Amino acid sequence: MEYSSKLIEEAVNQISRLPGIGKKTALRLVLHLVKEKEESTFSLTEALNKLRSGIRFCVHCHNISDAEVCSICSGVKRDRSVLCVVENANDVLAIENTAQFNGLYHVLGGVISPINGIGPGELKIESLVNRLNHGQSEIKELILALSPTLEGDTTAFYIHKRVKDLPVKVSVIARGVPVGGELEYADEITLGRSITARTLFN
């Protein structure tokens, strides 16, 4: 792609490094910024600079936070007896958006994946075990809300193995046919799990 300006080319190259954004989309975004008032562009760059310099991770759950302790961990109305283990901050947002969970979280920062060189030591599993082992721990149930992949299942199995001797109930999120889905299009594993984990009709 030929550019009339080296500055445009450099900006396109940087923006296209973001996930899901190709060169054409990046070019549209750059041209939009060029047409905008300078204040708008400067506000964007200032927000990004603040993001990089000010973002933190909660000392308890490792979720993205503005302070040492995130708003969820410090929330007085949260149920501290239930801890939901997730892969990343995106999963916390997804679960929070359902408005069906009011407990606490623990963000692992990924899943065990030997192919990608990620072992238990690269994840926040040890701090999870420490949270459960803490003398003042109120946690009674651990929900493993990990992706239903080989890596997710491996991680869940490893965590279960680490905490099986602790006085905490371990559960996993239900897996089955999505609402609005057609049975004929469901894969065999998902459909099989739906039948096995069936519930009473009410």
Range of the domain at 100: 78-172
What is the DSSP secondary structure assignment for residue 116, as one 8-state letter?
Answer: G
126 and 162 part of one domain? yes
Bridge-based pairing of strands 82-86 and 56-57 is: unpaired
Alpha helices, H only, the chain: 6-15, 23-35, 38-54, 89-98, 125-133, 150-163, 188-196
60 within a domain of the structure (yes/no): no
Q: Which pLDDT score is estimated for 106?
A: 97
Long-range contacts of 179-185 (CB under 8 A, 24+ apart): none
104 and 166 part of one domain? yes
**pLDDT tens digits, residue range 124-143?**
999 999 999 875 579 999 99
187 within a domain of the structure (yes/no): no
18 and 89 part of one domain? no
**Mean pLDDT throughout 155-161?**
96
Does 189 have pLDDT greater than 70?
yes
65 within a domain of the structure (yes/no): no
19 and 83 part of one domain? no
95 and 153 part of one domain? yes
Q: Which pLDDT score is estimated for 185?
A: 77
Q: Which residue has the higher pLDDT, 188 or 60?
A: 60
Nearest to 105 by CA among 134, 147, 138, 144: 144
What's the domain count of the chain?
2
Q: Tell me which of 35, 52, 69 is where a domain ends.
A: 52
Average pLDDT, the chain: 90
Q: Which pLDDT score is estimated for 135?
A: 58
Does 199 have pLDDT greater than 80?
no
110 within a domain of the structure (yes/no): yes
92 and 167 part of one domain? yes
Least confident of 12-21, 58-67, 110-119, 166-175: 166-175
| pLDDT band (50, 70, 90) for residue 80 | very high
Q: Which pLDDT score is estimated for 202?
A: 60
42 and 86 part of one domain? no
180 within a domain of the structure (yes/no): no
Q: How many CB atoms lie within 10 A of CB 17?
A: 9
| pLDDT band (50, 70, 90) for residue 85 | very high
Non-local (6+) Cβ contacts of 113 within 8 A are 151
Does 18 have pLDDT greater than 90?
yes
At 133, which CATH number? Answer: 3.40.1360.10
What is the DSSP secondary structure assignment for residue 99, as one 8-state letter?
Answer: T
pTM of the model: 0.82
Dihedral, CA atoms, 124, 125, 131, 133, nearest 10 degrees?
A: -150
186 within a domain of the structure (yes/no): no
144 within a domain of the structure (yes/no): yes
Between the CA of residue 98 and those of 11, 39, 91, what are the distances in Å?
37, 36, 11
At 36, which CATH number? Answer: 1.10.8.420
DSSP 126-166: HHHHHHHH-TT----EEEE---SSHHHHHHHHHHHHHHTTS
106 and 153 part of one domain? yes
Amino acid identity of residue 188, one-letter, is E
What is d(CA 146, CA 168) in angstroms, rounded to the nearest whole number? 18
91 and 132 part of one domain? yes
Does 192 have pLDDT greater than 90?
no
Q: Which pLDDT score is estimated for 22?
A: 95
